[in-house]
Chains A and B, each alone.
Chain A
Amino acid sequence: MDSATSDRGEPRQALSSTADNGLKIVIVGGFGVGKTTMVRSVSEIRPLNTEETMTKAGEAVDDTEGITAKTATTVAFDFGRITLDAHNVLYLFGAPGQERFWFLWDRLFSGTLGAVVLVDTRRLADSWYAIDRLEHHGTPFVVACNDFGGPAHTPEQVRGALDLPPEVPLLFCDARSRASSKQVLISLVEHLQHLQRARHPQPALQPPIPEPTP
């Protein structure tokens, strides 16, 4: 759909000098599903576009013998930015979900907090590969169905079609809406908290020690 991004050269809104922690969330989905639209809805900057050229992992890059054999792929992606507080800045990356890009994930998106799989319910099959790879990769994710005004599907229908495990949150959203997109991100972070708490159960809160009565 639209991948319109801002022209370079326009004044860029600077971060605070105290900003010191960059965080990543990846929005993945098929072509035209609304990734850039969602980034734009919540970003404080107009989405920017950049690209990375990478050679496939495991192939010799310094060996002159290997130069003719190595394959380079260029992947373009959009991103936006949300200043969370004086220290934390969240970057949202709209990433292509097509099969040929997935070998890039390890290096490009390692360290991401989690992913939003943006889904068009008219083309659910476009999401199968992305979901499979995220599960394989161990990247936590939520699935968000972007509302294109098509026939309504029940969550059960979508879950069934995507073969989605019950623990993966499924949401319906409108990527053009800031509030709706924000809610998708909040749901992802709440899901991460839930996973983290399940993995490392917190010790039960100790009752406060009563003040000694005089």
Chain B
Amino acid sequence: MTNDANDDTQPVDIAKWSETAPRYSEIKRMISVFVGRPLPVIGLVIIVLLILVAIFAPLLAPDPPNQMEIINKLQQPSSEHWLGTDSLGRDTLSRIIFGSRTSLIIGISVTAISSIIGIVLGLLAAYFGGAIYHIIMRFMDALMAFPMLLLALLVASLLGAGMLNIIIALGIGMIAAPCRLMCGVVMSVKQNDYVLSARAMGMSNLRIMFQEILPNAFPPLLVLMTIGIGAVILAEAGLSFLGIGITPPTATWGGMVNDGYKFIMTNPVLAISPGVAIMLVVFGFNMLGDGLRDALDPKLRGVI
């Protein structure tokens, strides 16, 4: 051992030392990449607005969502009803505002359920390999062979309509993507020397999987989950539009498009306004996901 390295008696001038080697913050770099471009920020603003609207829906909405004024049905937009009223005389704006709750709850819970199951299955498959890998991944292949909407339709018609059943139906349909992604990432992460090192230090499989591998495999999943929320909201709207989604009278954007499209010639606002809401929110999540990907991908460092 050389003297300077082992000599503990000599005080180290910490102030000077940290001055020559400034701490480099990865988080700050990510934030600057993320904020540096307009689209992800727009996406973030849309999503923050959506969350605020969903939380403060009762304060923001001019009327209760299910309050019917049959006399005022199918009105054009006016100062009293900004986006008009539907065939039962319910205020469209209020229903869109309350519909944001449904979309957000379903989007987040479905993504959470499918991601957790998908991540665990993908991790198990890639870590243990062999028979476990084949069983899990062939099951995922089978799941992917069905179009997601069709699968959700099948499960929803088996279980019946309703919020919980829709969450289960979409949740099952969405497992394959995170599972496959996780499996691929873990296969490459587990080759790293620190995994071998951890095994050589006597770490248990569980600890290696969840502490050593999972955090290293997580960034791409974060991106997938963000974009996934948009996809789930779209799928839920699709199911509600087909009439097997959330049971009426709960306000959902898909259901509102379904109610409104019969009057598209006379009252276009009725179908178009929830459609625009769906579009904006899905756009927002996709842009956020894109921005996250660019910020988290080490290969793009310095390029953007």
A and B found bound together: no
- List A residues at the B interface (Cβ < 8 Å): none
